[in-house]
Structure 1
Amino acid sequence: MHVHLEKDDHGHVAMPDDIMEASSKYFKAEERTPSIDRIAEIYRGQQMAAVVFTVDASTQMGHEPNSIDDLVAGCARNNDVLIPFGSVDPRQGAAALTEARRQAEELGVRGFKFHPSVQGFDPSDEQFRPLWDELERIGLPCIFHTGQNGMGAGLPGGRGIKLKYSNPLLLDEVAADHPNLPIIMAHPSVPWQDEANSIATHKANVYIDLSGWSPKYFPESLVRQSNNVLSGKVLFGTDFPLITAEKWMKAFAELPLKDEVRPGILKDNAVRLLGLGAGAQGNDAGRSGSAPGGTTAGGAA
């Protein structure tokens, strides 16, 4: 459920150079900027599918985002394994709503990615309600970064990136007021894991993806809840290219999870959320040629 495209077809990188360099050191990434076709090659070799996206933080970062159009085209070239998500900059107001409609209706993205800390916004602020209203109307899932930030880690002042915007409690109000908007809280939400567990338990439209951390470092409460009340609400993700699926899967195998819980986390929960089950794709699957078939779910970023 969580793979980043960090460099587009024209060689443009998603974030300013200092943030890219700092995050590479923080995660000790081996292959930092694989192309969309390279991502597909890697995931195809692992018999996995991946949700792929970038982040539009142009207002906060003063840096143009990677091209969503190119990302979708790359996923269409590799539609057996890649699923495209879009991204808009919430701080662009009405233009963000227009762009979200374009990405959903013309490009055929299957969801949207937001990073409140990197994009510099509070999701619960009233000024962003029109965007959540529109995305609820569109009806596609939205992934929000929560918890600790690898972006800006180790830089003076964290490069101005504010952790408070990644508190999952800021999404509780969004989820309550938009019950038909599927919300995925990305990552173990350290240091707010109990808050994330509570929201995902309380709100039927809220999920948790497990990316950004090796499973051996997951908070105990997340593992415990994933084994019971949240077993249908947690989703496999790695944060590739920052964490590889091989490393993640090896550590995941060591978690004390019930055998009957693992298939849901690794594939079935995501299949239901994304509407990829047999007979569920309908005409949507053909909009960008991006709905994979016969694959095993994967993710990262």
Structure 2
Amino acid sequence: MKIIDAHLHFCPEEAGFSQLAEAAGHENTEKHLQQIYDELGIVCGIVMGNRTVDPKDHQYPPFMRYCIGIDSFYLDGKQVSDSIDQIEENLRRPQCVGVKLYPGYFPMYISDPAYEPVYELARTYGKPVAVHTGETSTPNAYLKYSHPMTLDEVAADHPGIQFVMCHYGNPWLMDAAAVVSKNDNVAADISGMLVGRVNLDMLFEEKQGYLESLKTWMGYLREYDDIMFGTDWPLANLAEYIEFVSRLVPEKYQEKVFFDNANRIYRLDLE
């Protein structure tokens, strides 16, 4: 089975990312990631960009695509409108398949008018807007901005744009399911739910209630047409994450979740 990793971060050799990769049993290098992808049948990875919108800083190997990220590092002291021309330059590229927003890490709702030029570009170029939802990795972020319900208003007001709810709003799974089910233009990835190495048998025994809830609220959606596999590399061990998702998604829907949905939603045109 072919797999698309619909959510990763790619900062090879950077110290913090290298520590995460080592804790997950990996090396934070392009060569290692390519090797593991080949071994596991992952044919493409979608990078969620960080820290700059300068197109020169977004050069990726052929097995990757990317979403240009408008994150808290970039927005520290800047306005979204300051670099709208650079954002558009990225979106013109075939390798750039969308935009990534980071509410929570940056204290602004995605319904703020400041994001309207970004939404207009996404509509013009027909590329999705991926949105961080759910818990954050740092305690100095604000969860009220990253609650999955905040995506409902934006999706309803912009029916011509495809949105991706990253991390399925975890742990607000019921709310996330309601937003995705109600809005035809919202899909979700299920990345970022494991950190480091994991004993899956023990995890499914000790976290049975939580994982049954996750399974329930993924299954709430229409035939799994709006759920995409993603790893949040370098956060988790890739082989373990594939097995983790395989245990949660019924076998008859796995090709959709692991490949078909991301191929369609991000318009990758992979065969």
Question: Which has the larger strand fraction?
Answer: 2
Q: Distance in 2 between matches of 1:106 and 1:276?
A: 13
Higher mean C-alpha deviation, range 92-101 or range 171-180: 92-101
TM-score (norm 1): 0.72
Which piece of structure 1 moves more, 104-113 or 171-180?
A: 104-113
Matched, 1:47 2:41: yes
* Number of residues of Structure 1 aligned to a counterpart in Structure 2: 247
Query: 86, 104, 112: which is aligned to 2:68?
Result: 86
Q: Is the contact between residue 37 and residue 74 of structure 1 (CA under 8 Å) also seen in structure 2?
A: no
The gaps in structure 2 that reach 5 residues or longer are: 1-5, 195-199
CA contact 1:100–1:135 (8 Å) conserved in 2:
no
Q: What pairs with 1:30-109 in structure 2 (closer than 5 Å)? A: 30-31=25-26, 34-48=28-42, 49-56=44-51, 65=52, 68-71=55-58, 73-75=59-61, 79=62, 81-88=63-70, 89=74, 92-106=79-93, 108-109=95-96
> Sequence identity of aligned pairs in percent?
23
**1:108-136 deviations in Å (ceiling 9; x for gaps):** 41112222122332112233223222222
**Letter paired with 1:6:** C
What pairs up with 1:1-301 in 2 under 5 angstroms? 1-7=6-12, 24=20, 28-31=23-26, 34-48=28-42, 49-56=44-51, 65=52, 68-71=55-58, 73-75=59-61, 79=62, 81-88=63-70, 89=74, 92-106=79-93, 108-149=95-136, 151-152=137-138, 158=139, 160-214=140-194, 216=204, 219-227=211-219, 229-230=221-222, 231-255=224-248, 257-277=249-269, 293-294=270-271
Q: CA RMSD in A?
A: 2.9
User: Normalized against structure 2, the TM-score is what?
Assistant: 0.79
Contact 2:55-2:89 within 8 A present in 1 as well: no
> For residues 238-277 of structure 1, what are the alpha-carbon distances to aligned partners after superposition, in whole Å with 9 as ceiling and x for unaligned?
111101220111222323x432211111111111112234
Distance in 2 between residues matched to 1:224 and 1:98, nearest whole Å: 42
* Structure 1, unaligned runs of 5 or more: 57-64, 153-157, 278-292, 295-301
Query: Retained in 1: the 8 A contact 2:177–2:218?
Result: no
